Amino acid sequence: MNDTTGRGGGPVDPPPLAHIFNSTHADFDAVTPLVWGPTGEAMAARAGILPGQRVLDVCSGTGASALAAARLVGPAGSVTAVDFAGDLLARAHAKASAAELHNVEFRVADVTDLRADDIGHFDVLTCGYGVFFLPEMDAAVRNLIDLLLPGGRLSLAVWHDDALYDFAGAYFARVARVTGEPTPPGPRDPVDDPHPITRIDTVEKITAWLESVGAVDTRATVLRLRIPRTDTFGWSMVLGSGLRGALDGLSPEAIAEVRRGFLQDLADADMTEVNCDTLIATGRRPER
Ligand SMILES: C[S@@+](CC[C@H](N)C(=O)[O-])C[C@H]1O[C@@H](n2cnc3c(N)ncnc32)[C@H](O)[C@@H]1O
């Protein structure tokens, strides 16, 4: 079974993450108005982006924060949006064109491969729900901070504390029941190698972690996102996120069984809302 949500725990053996995220492309934007969109706007706003600046948006998906940043920098500024899921980035590109935002460059690339020699330095770095996917998260984020100009600002979004905890737990339990495979360990189960998200899921943890990878003036706040639990939202959140990876290779009948059982389990648990609370953390690259 594959856990690519940043909400599971323990060792996993997913198909390549880019393949999973590409497979979400038709469903990803069903979640945008309720989750990815508000976070993208908040993250760009808290980055303090000014007209004319150069922004690097990594793990861009369908462009929630990249497009918000493009509006803030205006025609004199620019945004470079990077993701290795080309199908998601193509949707971001189409949305930018439809909105007549011509100041965004889209790059299909692994963000851990970005180097200043190639793309230069930026005034602002934004990354929504992405850093916990990066292998060797600390080294990867140090490298991203190096792509900022001295004094440049960064703004990150990650799941806060209990966000998606019960939701993802019910989902993986249901997938396990349908497939007959063991349920993967949750993020708080004792495992040798806890999921990186457990290191950055509170205000205190993420600000301390950002300082440890080289940022200064770090701050974080919680964006409260409680989405009414409906079957439509529940299943869109599965199909339009990395949770979808656990369905990879299942037959249409098995997927239908997961859907029916999972949505029933949420209803039986009297879950009235889905906790999608999000931490928005900001900081700066030191001046020298
Ligand atoms: C949960 S989505 C978030 C997308 C977008 N930031 C948003 O908030 O709507 C995570 C994104 O990170 C991308 N991603 C994860 N690891 C990556 C890597 N190493 N290089 C490039 N993109 C990556 C995935 O392809 C996916 O689009």
pTM for the whole structure: 0.93
Give the residue whose CA is nearest to atom 13 of ligand 1: 59
Tell me, using a 6 A CB cutoff, whether residue 37 lines ligand 1. Answer: no
Tell me, using a 6 A CB cutoff, whether residue 128 lines ligand 1. Answer: yes
pLDDT tens per residue across span 29-65? 999 999 999 999 999 999 999 999 999 999 999 999 9
**Å from CA of 203 to ligand 1 middle:** 22
Tell me how crowded residue 221 is: count the other CB atoms within 10 A of its CB.
14
Give the residue whose CA is nearest to atom 25 of ligand 1: 85
pLDDT tens per residue across span 106-147? 999 999 999 999 999 999 999 999 999 999 999 999 999 999
Between CA 120 and CA 138 the distance in angstroms is: 21
For domain 2-161+197-228+277-284, give the CATH number.
3.40.50.150
Residue (of 118, 6, 4, 100) closest to 56 by Cα position = 118
> Does residue 96 contact residue 125 with C-beta atoms inside 8 Å?
no
Q: Per-domain residue ranges for the chain?
A: 2-161+197-228+277-284
Residue (of 129, 131, 132, 123) closest to 154 by Cα position = 123
Maximum mean pLDDT: which of 153-157, 178-182, 242-246, 284-288? 153-157
Helix (H) or strand (E) holding 159: strand 148-159
Tell me, using a 6 A CB cutoff, whether residue 59 lines ligand 1. Answer: yes
Local structure of 134: helix, strand or coil: coil
Tell me, using a 6 A CB cutoff, whether residue 110 lines ligand 1. Answer: yes
Between CA 90 and CA 147 the distance in angstroms is: 24
